[in-house]
Amino acid sequence: MGRLITLDEFIIKRQKDFPFASGELTALLRDIGLAAKMINREVNRAGLVNIIGLADKQNSSGDKVQKLDLYANDRMIEFLGNSGECCGIASEELEDFIPLPDVESKSAKYVVVFDPLDGSSNIDVNVSVGTIFGIYRRVSDVGTPVTKEDFFQPGKNLVAAGYVTYGTSTILVYTTGKGVNGFTLDPSVGEFFLSHRDIRIPEKAKYYSVNQGYYLKYDFGMRRYIDHCNELNLKLRYIGTMVSDIHRILFQGGVFIYPNMSDYPMGKLRLLYECNPMAMIVEQCGGKATTCQGKRILDAKVTDLHQRTSIAIGSPRMVEDVKSFSEKYKAMTVLE
Ligand code: P6P
């Protein structure tokens, strides 16, 4: 077994890969790692401290907010504020973006978007949940107040993206555009250790991932694609937490789709802090991420912090198949 490499050591070593690295991104990634450790601790003892249960709040999506969502949101904001490298954040749990105060009069160059606890409805039944984050360089002048343009950037402008999956083990996966690496938390020492080096998504797959319960709500092309998966005897795996479903696909291959449907004409999942960061990661692993009509997710124009999109993400050939079925049947109306 090779020498153990911690997340901090790896980030610092890889700093030279980053064109304009002067340690700021390194500090940001380390702050996120710290937040992940704190969130992990609460996720793992959620059942014990009666943290489960609906807070009396709703988030910007109108979803009932679990107390753990609020805790995770607060930790991300707290730790992102530590280094002084982040001038503003946007979160699924916040209606609007918020500026972060300067630390030691540093003029932060980055903004961070995140879903602090993806899949939170699974908390009460002990199913894995996750945190998703994306990092942009600000486009407004350093030293001036953060603006919405800093957040309304296409996903292809992301300088880093990552997620944490709180499952049978807690794994942090991130990319700065030079490949994807995974780090597993050893809770006994409180360190993330390199465990999945240079992740590459399998071309072939035995799995597809979709909420089959909504089959009749999808348009005809998506129904026929699902039929096609059944004809190929592909196995259906759907956890209901995007991070977990895509994490599995990075290692076993497959495709995750969340199509447009009557309840969500634009799709359900959020472009800014769910689909864009996951798309950057999957593309860096050799995969693809498009809308269910085949448009590249990372090219999508961001016009609202909470805008939704459909998504087909995973092994490249399977993502291409989704597009071909969408095109082949697009003329057909959805049977009511
Ligand atoms: P449905 C979790 O609420 C989430 O945002 C994603 O993590 C997940 O993939 C999706 O929604 C599940 O949605 O409608 O299948 O329950």
Compute CA distances 45 → 68, 176, 237, whole Å: 11, 31, 26
How far is Cα 48 from Cα 65, in angstroms, rounded to an integer? 19
* Contact between residue 87 and residue 111 where contact means Cβ atoms under 8 Å apart: yes
**CB of 211 closer than 6 angstroms to any ligand 1 atom:** yes
* Contact between residue 89 and residue 97 where contact means Cβ atoms under 8 Å apart: yes
Calculate ∠ Cα 26-29-32, nearest 5°. Answer: 150
- Beta-carbon contacts of residue 230 (< 8 Å; ≥ 6 apart): none
Whether 118 sits among the annotated catalytic residues: the reply is: yes
Report which of residues 113 and 16 the model is more confident about. Answer: 113
How far is Cα 156 from Cα 267, in angstroms, rounded to an integer? 20
**CB of 242 closer than 6 angstroms to any ligand 1 atom:** yes
Compute CA distances 84 → 1, 107, 149, whole Å: 37, 7, 20
Q: What pTM did the predictor assign?
A: 0.94
How far is Cα 213 from Cα 3, in angstroms, rounded to an integer? 46
**CB of 237 closer than 6 angstroms to any ligand 1 atom:** no
The pLDDT tens digits of the residues spanning 136-184 come to 999 999 989 999 999 999 999 999 999 999 999 999 999 999 999 999 9
Q: What are phi and psi of 65, to 5 degrees?
A: -95, 125
Q: Delineate the domains of the chain, giving CATH numbers in brackets.
A: 7-196 (3.30.540.10), 207-332 (3.40.190.80)
The pLDDT tens digits of the residues spanning 104-137 come to 767 899 999 999 999 988 988 889 999 999 999 9
Residue 336 is predicted with a pLDDT of: 45
Residue 185's pLDDT band (cuts 50, 70, 90): very high
How far is Cα 50 from Cα 72, in angstroms, rounded to an integer? 15
Nearest alpha-carbon partner for 320 in 285, 292, 281, 280: 292
Q: How many CB atoms lie within 10 A of CB 304?
A: 12
Which entry of 28, 117, 271, 305 is annotated as an active-site residue?
117
**CB of 241 closer than 6 angstroms to any ligand 1 atom:** yes
Q: Relative to the CA of 63, which ligand 1 atom is closest?
A: 3
Mean pLDDT across 227-250 = 97
Instruction: Inform me whether the pLDDT recorded for 79 exceeds 70.
Output: yes
The CB-side HSE value for 290 (13 A sphere, CA atoms) comes to: 18
Residue 107 is predicted with a pLDDT of: 86
Q: Write the burial class of residue 256 (CB in 10 Å: 0-12 exposed, 13-18 middle, 19+ buried).
A: buried
